[in-house]
C-alpha cells in the first residue's frame, strides 16, 4: 500500500472515532445507551441491520462465490426475505409493543426468569464463541494487504472497535455502521472500476465472457438439500435459518426495539433486507467480473483460494487510491460486525443478568458503566483469543462455535412456543429447549443426524416445540390473564397499552418455583 492508500484508511478510522466521541455526549442512562432513546432514524437502523451481518468474511467470500458459481448465491436473499417477513408477522409486534431492551425479556414475561436466562445464555455463548474468529479473520486479511503484522492488525481493529462502541453505545454503533456500509459500497465500486478499466472492451466484454461461461444464471430449480445454491433449499432451509437469526438474535432485535414504533421497525427491516440484497449482488458482480478478467489475463495462480481472490486482485491489479478504498471497506466490514457483537453482548449481560439478579436497584448510570466495562473486557478477550489463533494457527473457539450453532433451532423454537402455543408453560419451554439441544448434540456426535447442516434449524425448532408441548402436560396451563398480550391469540385491545401484560415471573407460581 502506498501513502495515499494509508491516508484513506487513517482518515476513515479517525471519522469512526469522532462519531463515537460525538455520540458519547448523551450516554447517561440505559435507554440512551442500549436503544438510543428511540431517537435514531429508522433508515439508519435499517442499514445497521445488514451492516451487522456483513463481516469481512462476507466481503471477501462474496467475490469468491461469484467467481466460482456466478449469481446463484443470490437465491439466498429470497430466503432472507422469507425470514424477515416472518419476523415482521410473528415476533416484531411483541418486541416493540412490550417496550423491550433485549429479546429475552419476552421469555420472562411469557414464561419465567430461568427461561429468559436460558435464551440469553444461548445467544451469549454464540457471540462469545465467534468474537475472536471475527477479529482474527479480518486482521489476517488486513495483514496480507497492508504488510503490517497480524498481531498489530488484530490490536488495531480491536482497539478502535472497543473505543467507539464503549463511548457512544448503540447510537455510535448504528451511525458507524451506516458509514461502514457506505464504505463497503465505495470499496466494491473501486474494485469493479479497476476490473472494468483494465481490459479492452470494458464492462461489455467482461459481461459477455461471464454469460458464455454460465456465470449469469440466478436460479437453480433442482432439488438438492445439501446445496445452498438450490432454490428449494434457499427458500425453506435457509429461510427458516434466517428467521431464527433475525428473530432471536439480540444483534438484530436491538435494532428493532430502538425504532420509534412498529411501523418504523418494519421499514427498517425491509430496508435492511433490500440493502443486503444490493450488497450481496454487488459482491457477486465483482466476483463474476474478476472471473472474466482472469479469463482474459490468464495469470491467476492455481493455489489462490476463492476467498483469497479479492485480496490477490487488490495486491496485484488495483491501482493506488482504489486499493485504499478496498482495504478501508474490509476494515469497515470487520468493525461493523465486531462492534455490534460487543454491544449486544454487553446489553444482554447487563439487562438479563446484572440488572435482573445481581443489582436489581442499580442506578441508570451504574448500569451504563457496567455495560461499558463488559465491552472493554470482552473486547480484550477477543483480542487475546485472536492473537492466540494467529500464533498457533488454530481457532481457539472453533469447538465452541460448532456447538453453539446448535442452539439456533431450539432458540427459535422457544420463541415460537411463547407466541403461537398458549398451552406451553414455563416447565415445557425450559426443559423442552434443553432436551432439544441435548438431543441434537448427542445425535450429531453419534452420527444419527445425517441431514445437511443448513437444515438444522428447520428440524430442531419443531423438535423443541414438540418436546415443550409434551413436557407442558405435566404442569397446569397458563391462565388467560397471564397470556394477555403475549401470544397472537390473546390480544390487548381490551386493556390500555401494555399495562395488562403479565409481569415478569407471573407464571412462576404455576410451577412451584
| Mean pLDDT, the chain, integer | 84
Q: What is the pLDDT of residue 46?
A: 94
Q: What is the pLDDT of residue 25?
A: 67
* 92-106, 160-174, 401-415: segment of lowest average pLDDT: 401-415
Q: Higher-confidence residue: 99 or 3?
A: 99
Q: What is the pLDDT of residue 41?
A: 95
Looking at beta carbons, which pairs linking 490-499 to residues 24 or more positions away fall under 8 Å? 490/422, 492/97, 498/97, 498/98, 498/99
Q: What is the pLDDT of residues 277-291, one digit of tens each?
A: 999 999 999 999 999
> Cα 362 to chain center, whole Å?
30
Q: What is the pLDDT of residues 89-141, one digit of tens each?
A: 999 999 999 999 999 999 999 999 999 999 999 888 878 877 777 788 777 77
Rounded to an integer, the average pLDDT of 132-157 is 80
The three state secondary structure string of 289-309 is HHHHHHHHHCCCCCCCCHHHH
In whole angstroms, what is the distance from residue 433 CA to residue 421 CA? 14
Neighbours of 223 (CB within 10 A): 10
In whole angstroms, what is the distance from residue 349 CA to residue 401 CA? 19
Rounded to an integer, the average pLDDT of 30-47 is 90
Q: Calculate the alpha carbon distances from 31 to 249, 257, 313 in Å.
A: 19, 11, 45
In whole angstroms, what is the distance from residue 66 CA to residue 292 CA? 11
In whole angstroms, what is the distance from residue 324 CA to residue 88 CA? 39
Q: Tell me the chain's radius of gyration from C-alpha atoms.
A: 23
> What's the pTM?
0.88
CA trace torsion 391, 392, 397, 398 (10° rounding)? 130
In whole angstroms, what is the distance from residue 386 CA to residue 207 CA? 40
C-alpha cell at 487: 401470544
Q: What is the pLDDT of residues 462-471, one digit of tens each?
A: 999 999 999 9
Give the list of residues 6+ apart from residue 274 with CB closer than 8 angstroms, or none: none
C-alpha cell at 67: 467467481
* 103-117, 162-176, 199-213, 384-398: segment of lowest average pLDDT: 384-398
In whole angstroms, what is the distance from residue 74 CA to residue 66 CA? 10
Nearest to 189 by CA among 308, 285, 298: 285
* Per-residue buried b or exposed e for 9-19, using 16+ beta carbons within 10 Å of the residue's own CB: beebbeebbeb
**Res 372 pLDDT > 60:** yes
Scan for cell 496485484, then name that residue.
316
| Phi (first) and psi of residue 264, to 5 degrees | -65, -40
**Res 345 pLDDT > 60:** yes
**Res 150 pLDDT > 90:** no
Q: Calculate the alpha carbon distances from 22 to 31, 108, 313 in Å.
A: 17, 35, 37
What sign results for the dihedral spanned by CA atoms 97, 339, 187, 15?
A: positive
Nearest to 42 by CA among 250, 270, 245, 246: 270
Give the list of residues 6+ apart from residue 448 with CB closer than 8 angstroms, or none: none
Confidence of residue 205 (pLDDT cuts 50, 70, 90): very high
Q: What is the pLDDT of residue 40?
A: 92
In whole angstroms, what is the distance from residue 203 CA to residue 262 CA? 43
Amino acid at each position: 500500500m502506498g501513502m495515499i492508500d494509508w491516508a484513506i484508511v487513517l482518515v476513515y478510522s479517525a471519522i469512526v472515532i469522532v462519531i463515537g466521541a460525538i455520540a458519547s455526549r448523551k450516554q447517561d442512562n440505559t435507554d440512551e445507551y442500549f436503544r438510543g432513546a428511540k431517537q435514531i432514524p429508522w433508515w439508519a437502523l435499517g442499514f445497521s441491520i445488514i451492516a451487522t451481518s456483513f463481516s469481512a468474511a462476507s466481503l471477501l467470500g462474496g467475490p469468491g462465490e461469484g467467481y466460482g458459481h456466478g449469481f446463484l448465491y443470490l437465491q439466498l436473499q429470497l430466503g432472507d426475505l422469507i425470514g424477515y417477513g416472518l419476523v415482521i408477522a410473528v415476533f416484531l409486534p411483541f418486541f416493540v409493543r412490550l417496550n423491550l431492551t433485549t429479546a429475552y425479556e419476552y421469555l420472562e414475561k411469557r414464561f419465567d426468569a430461568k427461561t429468559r436466562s436460558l435464551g440469553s445464555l444461548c445467544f451469549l455463548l454464540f457471540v462469545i464463541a465467534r468474537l475472536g474468529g471475527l477479529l482474527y479473520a479480518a486482521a489476517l486479511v488486513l495483514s496480507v494487504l497492508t504488510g503490517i503484522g497480524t498481531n498489530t492488525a488484530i490490536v488495531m481493529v480491536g482497539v478502535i472497535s472497543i473505543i467507539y462502541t464503549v463511548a457512544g453505545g448503540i447510537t455510535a454503533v448504528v451511525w458507524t455502521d451506516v458509514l461502514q456500509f457506505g464504505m463497503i459500497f465505495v470499496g466494491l465500486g473501486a474494485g469493479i472500476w479497476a476490473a472494468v478499466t483494465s481490459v479492452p472492451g470494458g464492462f461489455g466484454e467482461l459481461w459477455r465472457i461471464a454469460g458464455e461461461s454460465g456465470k449469469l444464471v440466478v436460479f437453480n430449480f433442482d432439488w438438492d438439500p445439501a446445496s445452498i445454491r438450490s432454490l428449494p433449499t434457499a427458500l425453506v432451509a435457509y429461510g427458516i435459518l434466517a428467521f431464527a437469526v433475525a428473530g432471536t438474535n439480540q444483534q438484530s432485535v436491538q435494532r428493532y426495539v430502538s425504532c420509534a414504533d412498529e411501523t418504523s421497525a418494519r421499514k427498517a427491516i425491509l430496508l435492511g433486507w433490500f440493502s443486503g440484497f444490493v450488497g450481496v449482488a454487488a459482491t457477486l458482480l465483482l466476483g463474476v467480473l474478476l472471473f472474466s478478467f482472469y479469463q482474459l489475463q490468464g495469470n491467476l495462480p492455481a493455489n489462490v483460494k476463492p476467498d483469497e481472490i479479492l485480496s490477490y486482485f487488490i495486491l496485484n491489479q488495483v491501482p493506488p487510491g482504489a486499493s485504499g478504498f478496498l482495504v478501508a471497506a474490509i476494515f469497515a466490514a470487520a468493525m461493523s460486525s465486531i462492534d455490534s457483537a460487543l454491544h449486544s453482548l454487553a446489553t444482554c449481560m447487563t439487562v438479563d443478568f446484572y440488572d435482573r439478579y445481581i443489582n436489581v436497584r442499580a442506578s441508570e448510570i451504574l448500569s451504563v458503566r457496567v455495560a461499558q466495562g463488559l465491552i472493554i473486557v470482552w473486547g480484550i478477550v477477543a483480542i487475546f483469543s485472536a492473537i492466540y489463533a494467529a500464533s498457533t494457527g488454530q481457532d481457539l473457539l472453533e469447538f465452541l462455535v460448532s456447538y453453539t450453532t446448535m442452539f439456533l433451532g431450539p432458540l427459535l423454537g422457544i420463541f415460537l412456543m411463547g407466541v403461537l402455543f398458549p398451552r406451553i408453560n414455563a416447565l415445557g419451554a425450559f426443559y423442552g429447549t434443553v432436551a432439544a439441544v441435548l438431543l441434537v448434540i448427542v445425535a450429531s456426535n453419534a452420527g444419527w443426524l445425517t441431514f445437511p447442516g443448513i437444515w438444522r434449524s428447520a428440524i430442531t425448532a419443531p423438535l423443541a416445540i414438540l418436546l415443550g408441548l409434551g413436557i407442558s402436560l405435566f404442569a397446569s396451563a397458563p391462565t388467560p390473564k397471564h397470556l394477555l398480550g403475549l401470544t397472537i391469540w390473546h390480544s390487548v385491545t381490551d386493556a390500555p397499552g401494555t399495562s395488562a401484560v403479565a409481569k415478569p415471573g407471573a407464571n412462576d407460581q404455576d410451577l412451584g418455583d
